Amino acid sequence: MGIKEKLKDIPHLPGVYIMKDASGEALYIGKAKDLSKRVSGYFQVSRPKTAKRMALLEKVKGLDYVITSSEEEALIYEASLVKEKKPKYNVELKDDKSFPFLKLTLNEKFPRLIITRKKIDDGSGYFGPYTKVKLLRNAAGILKNIFPLRTCKKIPGETCLAYHIGQCLGPCVKKIDEKSYNEIVEQLVLFLEGKKTKLIMELTDKMKKFADEKKFEQATVIRNRLSALLEVSDRKTADYSSWGNVALKLKKILRLPGLPLKIEAFDVSNISGKEAAGSMVYFNNGLSDKSNYRKFRIKSVKGIDDYAMMKEIVHRRYKRLKEENKGFPDLIIIDGGKGHLGAAYEELLRLNAGHIPVIGIAKQEEKIYTLGSQEPLDINRDSEILHFIQSVRDEAHRFALKYHHVLRRKFTF
């Protein structure tokens, strides 16, 4: 995919972008509140360019991006990537004297996280530098809520306001032991190093372990930290497009590992089992992409068996994607309730694709079902999330019905 084609896919969401040369080496890494606007701006002919930018763009042959939950998270991730990849054109972030760091006082018994402009050899861990001081302060405030480390310079003998508002775990009065405290420190380090996915996987395993051991209070603490990590900060979602707001809410309520930018939805259409047809519609960044729609003539099912028809089209779709070594969607929507959802999931498991998030939307009831739960999600009928899922389902239904009518006309003729 060329640069121009890649630009069309970049969403209006916060994140980090990576410009690469022909060999795949990182040339420049930047962050953005709106990835699409920022990255597209580099390639606009009418926009004036400095000599440095011209030299950079002449070498750019590849482009990658990573979506984050907020501009604050993008700031953290940008710094970790620059430190790891050392891109040639990130000169400003190499000047350690000009920008602030996050300092984790690992030389203390119960480490603190503070902002500093001095980097000294004192046994502490330093992360950064970061380009935006105000944004860094916002990020530090968010991190205090997720990883509630102490803030006091000297450990007092009684709890302070930070403890009572949930921003400290009270090591001063032994509300948490040193081992448990250090586990949180290690989790914070993973986040600051840009290893959010690894951190989420570790916390998920830890939560399940506590639940299996009937330690429900500890499991709840981990669950809350996971929820906060998956959100990080949704205070600025109103600044993005309405689709960006819906995507973030979908990710939260469906507990998805990432934003559902690429969505595929399935439906089947038949009358008494005759001339049965299936459809798959494709949505990218909230918009339908008809060039990637697919239609299926049911081949292996005789008579009326909607579950078997759904299994056939799901199997055919993802078997082909595997054979062609193409990427899977971020979310699958099945037109149907628990039965249709279960049938589709069986085929995903057969194809070793059970990791793809999949939901079902039942006809008439308009209820959303997820795997592992007998009850539908508690979503307000006026919710923009439900309206979006309905619109995707309706498009799949329309496309399936249209193809079914084509097949019936051919049969009649």
- The domain locations on the chain are 3-89, 95-193, 195-236, 262-412
pLDDT higher than threshold 60 for residue 33: yes
Q: How high does pLDDT run on average in the chain?
A: 82
* pLDDT tens digits along 353-387: 989 999 999 877 788 999 878 888 888 776 788 88
Tokens 């990576």 -> residue: 18
- pLDDT reading at 280 higher than 90: yes
Residue 75 has pLDDT above 80, yes or no: yes
Once rounded to an integer, what is the mean pLDDT over residues 218-234?
69
- Residue pair 320/296 in contact (Cβ under 8 Å)? The answer is no
Specify the 3-state DSSP secondary structure of 383: coil
- At residue 412, does pLDDT exceed 60? no
Q: Do domains 3-89 and 262-412 have the same CATH topology?
A: no
Residue 287 CB contacts under 8 Å (≥ 6 apart), including other chains: 243
Tell me if residue 70 falls in helix, strand or coil.
coil
Longest dimension (CA), the chain: 89
From CA 125, how far away is CA 105, in angstroms rounded?
6
DSSP 8-class letter at 305: -
Fold of 262-412: Nucleotidyltransferase; domain 5 (3.30.420)
What phi and psi, each to the nearest 5 degrees, are found at residue 261?
Answer: -80, -35
pLDDT at 166 (0 to 100):
66
CATH top-level class for 3-89?
Answer: alpha beta
